[in-house]
Amino acid sequence: MNIGTASIINHAFGALEPETLEALRAVAVRQSYAPNTTLCRQGKIEHTFYVVVQGEVVVSQTLEDGQERILNVIGPMGYFGEMGLIDDSPRMAHCITLTPTTVLEVTEENFDKFMEKSPALATAVLRNILTTTRNIDQQSIAELQQKNEALQKAYADLQQALARLVEKERLERELELAATVQRSLLPDHLPQFPDYAFAAYLQPARQVGGDFYDVVEIDTDHVGILMADVADKGFHAALFMAVTRTLFYQEGKHSLSPAAVATAVHQGMLEASSHDTFLTAFYGVLHRPSGRLTYVRAAQDRPLWYRPGRGVEALTGDGRFLGMIEGLALAESTIYLQPGDRLVLFSDGVPDATNPHEEPYSGQRLTDRIVTGGHLPAGRLITHIAQDVIRWRQDAPAFDDLTLLVVEAKA
């Protein structure tokens, strides 16, 4: 296993009383293992506490994307396995021998007795848990920063490579890469619930932009809803889209306040980019049991709210775009979705789509289309609108992305 540049921290038992160590040795089973032997398995509930006598054990996590992150290397007199015994939870990481290793193995029963009788052991274990948790948090932050730096470096490298090409070749390659990045970052499918359904549609323009959307299940009751547009074109827009979508995802897990999430994203954008790029966005948090949708609108087009028998109205709320100017203030607004309601979010590429006579599709035509199709399920309503925009445009070139997101409150 390649340790790379991961930080190595050996937790020692030096602070424990000698008699505690001797007592541990008296009840533990001494075992020796060959290199590359797995002692703890991530996700498994196990019941053994380990003290390393000789050798080294690497602690690693398998991330959701399949990559492996090294958390620690434990040497002689270090220990591991205490967290799963304390709360009977699955192992947070794999523990694998690096070298021929000898350990003392303590059963859960004996471990519990020592925790009760030995304040020194309890203190050391608590300190170890806090240190491990802090290290994981710090490493997660560092990895996000490294990914942002890698994105910026990739953009700079691409600029240097494309500069050596003729202008037409450079542009075609940039648009191709941007489209690939954009498609890869959009969700493959949106979450669906017994009481709410979601559907989305995105048709990139020839000049690939930075439209993106997301629907994220925050917890069992709350769903985050995002529609945004990076005010740029080409590969830089796609890269900036990647950064901002990651920021929204991360911050949305930390707060149910749309204003707090959008403000944190705004600050992250200021720190992550030196380019004059900004973002318009609508971000809301839907409380499914009550239908309450709390949202902020940062210069994004006003979503249209269809209610059976009451027509269509544009949502209120104003706010400045994200990512350029300090001192951002966003006010939250709230509506309550009822069964049968539809909420249509869209990018400016929808009302601004022009036909061969350079006539815009317009917000009024979009409203009329929602009125005639508001009773349709989310997926069919998306098709109902998108096909009408495409028919209107005919063979006129598209200058901006066509992006739609529909929220359906099921009747």
185 near 242, Cβ under 8 Å? yes
Q: Give the span between the Cα atoms of 299 and 301, in whole angstroms.
A: 7
Indicate which CATH number applies to the domain containing 201.
3.60.40.10
39 near 97, Cβ under 8 Å? yes
- Asked whether residue 76 falls in the same domain as residue 217, the answer is no
Helices 258-272 and 234-252: crossing angle in degrees, nearest 10, is 140
Share of the chain above pLDDT 90, in %: 46
Burial (0-12, 13-18, 19+ Cβ within 10 Å), 406: buried
Exposure string of 250-286, with b = 16+ CB inside 10 Å and e = fewer, is bbbeeeebbbbbbbbbbbbbeebbeeebbbbbbbbbb
- Res. 10: pLDDT tops 50: no
Q: What is the pLDDT of residue 325?
A: 84
Q: Answer yes or no: pTM beyond 0.75.
A: no
- Asked whether residue 129 falls in the same domain as residue 191, the answer is no
* Backbone CA torsion sign across 39, 40, 41, 45: positive
Give pLDDT tens digits for 129-159: 556 556 655 666 766 677 677 767 766 776 7
User: Does residue 29 form part of some domain?
Assistant: yes
User: Does residue 152 form part of some domain?
Assistant: no
Indicate which CATH number applies to the domain containing 57.
2.60.120.10
* Residue 85: how many other CB atoms lie within 10 Å: 20
- Asked whether residue 70 falls in the same domain as residue 199, the answer is no
- Asked whether residue 172 falls in the same domain as residue 309, the answer is yes
Which domain range does residue 81 map to? 18-138
Arithmetic mean of pLDDT, 34-42: 94
Give pLDDT tens digits for 244-298: 888 998 999 999 999 999 999 999 888 876 567 788 999 999 999 999 999 999 9
Give pLDDT tens digits for 209-228: 678 899 999 999 999 999 99
Last residue of a domain, one of 120, 138, 156: 138
Q: What is the pLDDT of residue 337?
A: 98
Q: At 282, is the secondary structure helix, strand, or coil?
A: strand
Q: Give the span between the Cα atoms of 218 and 77, in whole angstroms.
A: 41
Q: Give the span between the Cα atoms of 386 and 202, in whole angstroms.
A: 9
Q: What is the pLDDT of residue 246?
A: 86
Q: What is the pLDDT of residue 12?
A: 39
Share of the chain above pLDDT 70, in %: 75
61 near 69, Cβ under 8 Å? yes
Q: What is the pLDDT of residue 187?
A: 83
* Residue 122: how many other CB atoms lie within 10 Å: 13
User: Does residue 199 form part of some domain?
Assistant: yes
